Amino acid sequence: MTEEIIIAGFGGQGVLSMGKILAYSGVMADQEVSWFPSYGPEMRGGTANVTVILSENRISSPVLNEYDTAIILNQQSMDKFEPMVKPGGVLIYDPNGIIHPPKRTDINIYKIEGTLIAAELGNVKTFNMVVLGAYLKAKPVVKMESVEKGLQKSLPSRHHHLIPMNLEAVQKGYEGLELVQAV
Amino acid sequence: MELKDIINPNNLVYEKAKLLTENTMHYCPGCTHGVVHRLLAEVIEELDIQDKTIGVAPVGCSVFAYKYIEIDWQEAAHGRAPAVATGIVRTNPDKVVFAYQGDGDLASIGTAEILHACNRGENFVVIFINNGIYGMTGGQMAPTTLIGQVTSTTPNGRDAGRNGYPLKITELIAQLPGTSYVTRQSAHTPAAIRKCRKAISKAFQAAIAKKGTSFVEVVSTCNMNWKMTPVKANEWMEANMFPFYPIGDMKDSSKSEPESYSPIKN
Amino acid sequence: MGELRLMKGNEVIAEAAIRCGCDGYFGYPITPQSEVMETLMEREPWNETGMVVLQAESEIGAIHMIYGAAGSGKKVITSSSSPGISLMAEGISYIAGSELPCLIVNVQRGGPGLGTIQPSQADYFQATKGGGHGDYRLIVLAPSSVQEMNDFVELGLRLAFKYRNPAMILTDGMIGQMMEKVVLADYIPRLTDEEINEKYGSWVTNGRKPYRERNVITSLEMDSDIMENNNLRFQQKYAQMEEEDLLFEEIQCEDAEYLLVAFGSSARVCLKAVDLAREKGIKVGLLRPITLFPFPKKPLAALAKKVKGMLVVEMNAGQMIEDVQLAVGCAGCKVPVMHFGRMGGIIHSPVEVLAALEQKLIGE
């Protein structure tokens, strides 16, 4: 099984680190992984995206034309990546900041109120973990314990005290996923 | 008295320095390079550091410096001797390294390398031969050419408006906290040669003591490209070079420690 | 088995350098490879193995520091990206001319000039045909995964010392910025001065010893006859590289009717294109040169006799294709060799590659 994911939003939303934790979770689950970011000046406040691939086999191209799953966190990314979801694939978005919701009828669409939930949790920085939780509900590609191990691996030990809060955010996201359209 | 009575160890007053090789020097008669090479050979012998000294030769007249002193050498690209010396000494911190450079090499094409090596306080010796002209390529203007001085690229004399001003690079280098001993010498009279030898010895001792960069400029002649006899060239140097490039120590950290810089608090 | 990590290609270069017993890294920051030096500075290998790390004043400074350290028998590495490699070209020519071993990593970006900071393979000519002045070649390794970034540091340095010739890892922003699983190598201790004297005493400049002649590192020679002989010796080394150290990978070539030829990042994209083609029933294989110099001429010539056409896929306007055409032409094959390239920092997608194959080779 291979899962090809694009995560796209603004720089500062934690797009790249969310992809990194997902990739690390895949490593913990003994999968092949690749994490390929957009990089350079555009990272500083502009749009940021990362392609994460999890697979049981050798991963070929980290650059893709179409994705099994698109996690979309701003309007520019919706415009760019909605057409690139494979038919029957998954699109997850946070409606905060989205003016034009997705129109495709041949894909599964979910939304997650990530911004709201993170605010309720009292730490907006957990936004990306909320979204990760929602994704794992829609696509259980890795187990929760792999995510915990992934967090331990990817965070420097001085930040390990933040792991319980992050796991709580993942749990809230998992619970908060809303189905918009199923095909 | 026969010849063998005269050529006799008891009568020996002068001989080739032990660490000079048998190779015949290619320098023009009257050139300062040969004298400075000899001084280097003497100092390396005296300090007994032949087995841990690495010389870095430049591009210019002294490109073949490596043929004349019996030590390990590296030949650098034009102007890059300080970078080469940095590479050697950083990975071999217990060796004694020196870069030997002319004015075109050090003060023109290699300005970035020399300033930054000195600013980092790289632990090596720089011997800087300043004769105000490009020797090897046939007498073109150097960064240190004096205003009004005739060269093949300033046939009517160096004009500040067109060519800028002679660069006092040694004064610049003396400002840098990384340097420990910075001096300007000459090697045109027995007295000057003795002083120059002392300066070179002191610079090497600073390197052995890991004090940072030591820098010895030797104001020199190029009688061939200046189109003068060796004697006339020495006179011209005293009359014209010395007023602009005054002889003497500019900095000696054995007397005063380099200015301290306190780090910002993180 | 070594330690398993998830790392960026650039970070792996730094880690592999420390682990394979490097004595020094000299470099200058440039996107998209600044993580190499940043990782080293964070790791502080001088406390662990004694490896020196220095931020030079420029790429010019860095490459000549490499020259100096390599000349004293030390195992040294530098990294940069395209514009910085151009600045280093002078020093690389001197290193090759003086027969010094070292490893240079080029994490390519789009050019010419300042270009972009996105991935590119437009420095193929520069890397494989010399890059600086004079008749010289580098050993050029083209990794296509983060694991190979790790492996080729040790391999590159090993080959560099075997031939006393600079080696280059020619990669790009895609592999450099990408994270993948990597199994790190075990630590190899740095050589002691005694070991250096024993192994390389005939040429290193680390102080003339009483038991040996003085050594001189130089590329200068006034006698043309001697210089020609030096060049002939270099050419012999290059021929020996082709005999002994050629590396390439053949993927699904056994029954292939069409062949993709691609290196590094492009080969990764092509790997997917091969799958897509085979899903459509088109029998496509991939030949991936791993050493770009020496170049796998013979394997290509052998495949040229079997396939109906070749598509060379590169992130440039057509550079490696010249070597492919030469290999095929010299073998007397008339098989069409076409090119598909994206430029300026754009990575071709697998679907684009397949479309190009269909249009340029199968369509008619």
Domain architecture of chain A: domains with CATH:
2-181 (3.40.920.10)
Q: Tell if the CB–CB gap between C117 and A39 is shorter than 8 Å.
A: yes
Give the CA distances from residue B50 to residues A139, B53, B74, B79, C198, in Å, rounded to whole numbers and listed in that order: 71, 5, 15, 25, 19
Percent of chain B scoring above 90 in pLDDT? 89
- Angle formed by the axes of helices A163-176 and A144-154, nearest 10°: 140
Q: Please tell me which of A36-40, A60-64, A154-158 the model is most confident about, judged by mean pLDDT.
A: A60-64
Residue B246 lies in a domain: yes
DSSP 8-state assignment for residue B237: I
Summarised one tens digit per residue, pLDDT across range A104-163 is 999 999 999 999 999 999 999 999 999 999 999 999 999 999 999 999 988 889 999 999
Which residue numbers in chain C have pLDDT < 50?
A: none
Distance separating alpha carbons of residues C120 and C117, to the nearest angstrom: 9
Which residue on chain A is closest to C117 by alpha carbon?
Answer: A40
Distance separating alpha carbons of residues C20 and B90, to the nearest angstrom: 19
Distance separating alpha carbons of residues C194 and C189, to the nearest angstrom: 13
Residue B196 lies in a domain: yes
Residue B194 lies in a domain: yes
Q: Name the band, by pLDDT with cuts 50, 70 and 90, for residue B172.
A: very high
Q: Dig out the tokens for A178 from the structure.
A: 């809303």
Q: Which amino acid is at B117?
A: A
**A39 closest CB neighbour out of C177, C268, C273:** C177
Q: Does A156 touch chain C (CB under 8 A)?
A: no
The full set of domains in chain C, from first to last, is: 4-183 (3.40.50.970), 248-362 (3.40.50.920)
pLDDT at position B266 over 80: no
Domain count for chain B: 1
Q: Does C178 touch chain A (CB under 8 A)?
A: yes
B2-16, B110-124, B246-260, C237-251, range with the lowest pLDDT: B246-260
The predicted pLDDT at position C291 comes to 98
Residue B233 lies in a domain: yes
Please say whether the dihedral angle defined by the alpha carbons of residues B163, B168, B169 and B175, taken in this order, is positive or negative: negative
**C220 closest CB neighbour out of B53, B72, B75:** B75
Instruction: Name every residue whose Cβ is closer than 8 Å to that of residue A56 and which is 6 or more positions away in sequence.
Output: A1, A2, A31, A32
Chain B to chain C Cβ contacts (< 8 Å): 132
DSSP 8-state assignment for residue A110: E
Q: Tell if the CB–CB gap between B90 and C65 is shorter than 8 Å.
A: yes
Q: Both ends of chain A: CA-CA distance in Å?
A: 20
Which residue on chain C is closest to A35 by alpha carbon?
Answer: C179
C47/chain B closest Cα distance in angstroms: 14
Residue B3 lies in a domain: no
Residue B5 lies in a domain: no
Residue B44 lies in a domain: yes
Residue B145 lies in a domain: yes
Q: Which 35-94 residues of chain C touch chain A by CB within 8 A?
A: none
pLDDT at position B12 over 70: yes
Using left for φ > 0, alpha for ψ between -120 and 50, and beta otherwise, residue C73 falls in left
A97/chain C closest Cα distance in angstroms: 28
Distance separating alpha carbons of residues B145 and C59, to the nearest angstrom: 29
For residue B142, give the nearest of B183, B110, B98, B181 by alpha carbon.
Answer: B110
Domain extent, residue B75, equals 16-252
Q: Does A33 touch chain C (CB under 8 A)?
A: yes
Mean pLDDT computed over every residue of chain A: 93
Q: Dig out the tokens for C151 from the structure.
A: 């492996």
Residue B61: give its domain's CATH number.
3.40.50.970
pLDDT at position B109 over 90: yes
Does the interface predicted TM-score (ipTM) exceed 0.90? yes
Instruction: Name every residue whose Cβ is closer than 8 Å to that of residue B200 and which is 6 or more positions away in sequence.
Output: B36, B39, B40, B43, B125, B127, B216
